[in-house]
C-alpha cells in the first residue's frame, strides 16, 4: 500500500497548506479519499496518474474535505475521460454536484455514479477479488464516515514437509493454496489445514477524519496496519473538542493503542500552532509508533 498525503490541514486552504485529501494505491487501485479545494492541483504536483482514479470517498460535506470535488469532476470531463467514476459520500452529494454541472451546462461525458451514505452502522461499500472497503461511522458536527481499506486474505502457504509426507501430487498444489482439501496418491482425503498455514497477513488502512474521540470504532479497525486519525488540537485545547467535535493528538493515540495499530498517522492539524511537532510528542506519550502527515508526504506499508 502506498499512501500519498495531498493535504492534511484543517479549516481553510492557505498559501502553503492544503485541506484534506489522500491518494491510496492498493492492489492496482488508486482511491481518492476526501477532496478539499485545490486537490486537483495537488494531484498534479504529486505527479500521480490521477486519471486512473475510479473511486472517490468523501467523509463529509465540510468544505475542507469536499469543495475540490466539483473542480476535479469538471477537469476529468475536459481531459476527455471515458471511464466510470464512483463517488461515495453523504446524502446530498449527488444533488449538489449535479446542480453545479447543470448551472454550468457541462454534464460529464463519462458515467458519474453516486453511492450516497446515510447509515450509522459500518457497511461494505466496495469489494472486488482482492480488497474490501468499509465505512467507519464517526462523530462530527455533520454526518461523517471514515473508511477502512482491507486486502482480502491471499493464498495459503504450503507446508512443504507436510505436503511431501502426505504424498500429494504437484498438480494439486495450486488447489491446496486456494484452501481446498485434496486426494493424495493413495486416494486418501487430506484436510487442507494439515498441509498449509496462513499466508502473509492482509494489510489494511483506516482513514478517520473528522471525529471526536469515539472508542466504539476500535473493534472495526482492530490490528489495522496503518491508521490515519485526525488530531485537530493539542491537549491544552481539549475543551474545544466537545463543541467542534474534533480530537486531540492524545485521543488519536488512545484509539491507535486500543486498536493495536501498526502505525498511527496524525493529521488535520489546526493552523493555530507554531509547529506540528507538538502533536507527535503528545501522541507518543500514549502510542510510540506515531508519524505526522504532511502535504505530499508518502507512506508505504
Active site residues: 64
Say whether residue 75 binds a second copy (CB under 8 A).
yes
Quickly tell me which residue has 476535479 as its cell: 72
Does the footprint of a second copy cover residue 98 (CB under 8 A)?
Answer: no
Q: What does the H/E/C string look like for 23-39?
A: EEEECCEEEEECCCCCH
141 binds a second copy (CB under 8 A): yes
Residue among 222, 253, 63 nearest 134 (CA): 222
Q: CA 291, CA 7: separation in Å to the nearest integer? A: 15
Torsion angles phi and psi, residue 160, rounded to 5? -60, -35
Q: How far apart are CA 179 and CA 157, in angstroms?
A: 9
Q: How far apart are CA 297 and CA 301, in angstroms?
A: 13
Judged by CB under 8 A, how many residues of this single chain contact a second copy?
Answer: 35
**Considering the rule CB under 8 A, would residue 85 count as an interface residue with a second copy?**
no
96 binds a second copy (CB under 8 A): yes
d(CA 122, CA 138): 10
Q: How many CB atoms lie within 10 A of CB 271?
A: 12
Stretch that binds a second copy, among 91-99, 164-172, 238-246, 278-286 (CB under 8 A): 91-99
Nearest distance, CB of residue 149 and a second copy, angstroms: 25
Comparing CB distances to a second copy, the nearer of 250 and 268 is 268
- Minimum distance of a second copy from residue 88's CB (angstroms): 15
**22-30, 55-63, 220-228, 256-264 -> range binding a second copy (CB under 8 A):** 55-63
Range in contact with a second copy (rule: CB under 8 A) among 39-47, 174-182, 224-232, 283-291: 39-47
Is residue 85 within 8 A of residue 73, CB to CB? The reply is yes
Rounded CA gap, 255 and 176, in Å?
38
3-state secondary structure of 195: helix
Shortest Å, Cβ 36 to a second copy = 9
Nearer to a second copy, 36 or 137 (CB): 36
Residue 13 binding a second copy, by CB under 8 A: yes
Closer residue to a second copy in complex, CB, 225/270: 270
Assess contact for 227 and 147: CB atoms under 8 A.
no
Chain residues in the site for a second copy (CB under 8 A): 11-15, 37-38, 40-41, 44-45, 61-63, 66-68, 70-71, 74-75, 78, 90, 92-93, 95-96, 99-100, 103-106, 141-142
Amino acid at each position: 500500500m502506498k499512501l500519498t498525503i495531498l493535504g492534511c490541514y484543517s479549516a481553510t486552504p492557505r498559501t502553503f497548506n492544503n485541506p484534506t485529501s489522500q491518494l491510496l494505491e492498493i492492489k492496482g487501485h488508486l482511491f481518492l479519499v476526501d477532496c478539499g479545494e485545490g486537490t486537483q492541483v495537488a494531484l498534479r504536483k504529486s505527479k500521480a496518474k490521477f486519471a486512473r482514479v475510479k473511486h472517490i470517498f468523501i467523509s463529509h460535506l465540510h468544505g475542507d474535505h469536499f469543495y475540490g470535488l466539483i473542480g476535479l469532476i469538471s477537469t476529468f470531463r475536459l481531459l476527455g475521460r471515458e471511464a466510470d467514476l464512483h463517488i461515495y459520500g453523504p446524502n446530498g452529494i449527488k444533488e449538489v454536484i449535479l446542480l453545479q454541472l447543470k448551472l454550468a451546462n457541462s454534464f460529464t461525458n463519462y458515467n458519474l455514479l453516486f453511492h450516497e451514505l446515510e447509515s450509522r452502522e459500518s457497511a461494505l461499500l466496495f469489494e472486488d477479488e482482492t480488497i474490501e472497503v468499509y465505512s467507519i461511522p464517526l462523530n462530527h458536527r455533520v454526518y461523517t464516515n471514515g473508511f477502512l481499506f482491507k486486502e482480502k486474505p491471499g493464498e495459503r502457504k504450503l507446508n512443504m514437509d507436510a505436503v511431501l509426507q502426505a504424498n500429494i501430487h504437484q498438480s494439486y498444489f495450486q488447489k491446496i493454496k486456494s484452501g481446498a482439501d485434496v486426494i493424495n496418491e493413495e486416494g486418501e482425503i487430506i484436510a487442507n489445514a494439515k498441509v498449509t498455514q496462513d499466508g502473509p497477513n492482509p494489510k489494511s488502512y483506516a482513514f478517520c477524519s473528522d471525529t471526536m474521540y469515539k472508542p466504539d470504532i476500535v473493534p472495526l479497525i482492530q490490528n489495522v496496519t496503518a491508521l490515519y486519525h485526525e488530531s485537530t488540537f493539542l491537549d491544552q485545547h481539549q475543551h474545544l473538542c466537545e463543541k467542534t467535535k474534533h480530537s486531540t493528538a492524545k485521543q488519536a493515540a488512545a484509539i491507535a493503542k486500543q486498536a493495536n495499530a501498526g502505525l498511527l498517522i496524525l493529521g488535520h492539524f489546526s493552523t493555530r500552532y507554531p509547529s506540528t511537532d507538538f502533536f507527535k510528542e503528545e501522541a507518543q506519550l500514549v502510542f510510540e509508533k506515531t508519524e505526522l502527515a504532511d502535504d505530499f508526504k508518502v507512506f508505504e506499508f
